[in-house]
Structure 1
Amino acid sequence: MRAAASWFVGQPTRHESLKIWSKDLTDYLERLIPAVKELAGIGPADDISAMVAMGGVGEAERRLYEPGAAGLRGETERVRRLARSVIALCDHHVNLSGSSNSHDS
């Protein structure tokens, strides 16, 4: 997931590919959000890493519900925000789980 999202962020885009990327990145976030929430809930309530991860989850949830933007430029930026949330949640997942390969596919 992280590799795909990282690749997308650095690429020029075309309108027809944005629909596919939007769906794929949305699917990734829908898998990552509950996984990160679960990991964040395992530790103590004052765990800083868990609190930061939950901030990332909140941001990802807001981005999931952003409406499609007008024009290629606006939609590209919206989908890039989804990609950045995927990258961030992958990092939080690794940090909270101690695993170096979780959701990297």
Structure 2
Amino acid sequence: MRNNQPVTQQQRCFDPKLPLVSLTDTKGTLLHVNQAFAEVSGYTEAELLGEPHNIIRHPDMPAAAFEDMWRTLKAGLPWHGLVKNRCKNGDYYWVESYITPVIEPIHPS
């Protein structure tokens, strides 16, 4: 599992009503991010697209959480959990994640 470094002890706060949206394929590659997702993570959209979603994985997150997430999604079920993500500069932010598998292929514009 990816172990992104360095990390800081600085939490990045953002409006909890602000939806952070991303779309990945079944291999975890980022296909789409909204502007809010990019801004909070500290990356540009161009830096994120085509990269593994775990580019924002914080090393404090246990691998078991993501194993459970992928097992649930591969079973065709939605997953919900609290996730600590790492910003590009090493800061962190918490998100309450709602992840839904897409059964039919979609093509982001």
Bigger relative contact order, structure 1 or 2 (CA pairs below 8 A, ≥6 apart):
1
Q: Give the TM-score, by structure 1 length.
A: 0.28
1 or 2, which has the higher helix percentage?
1
For the pair shown, which has the larger CA radius of gyration, 1 or 2?
A: 1
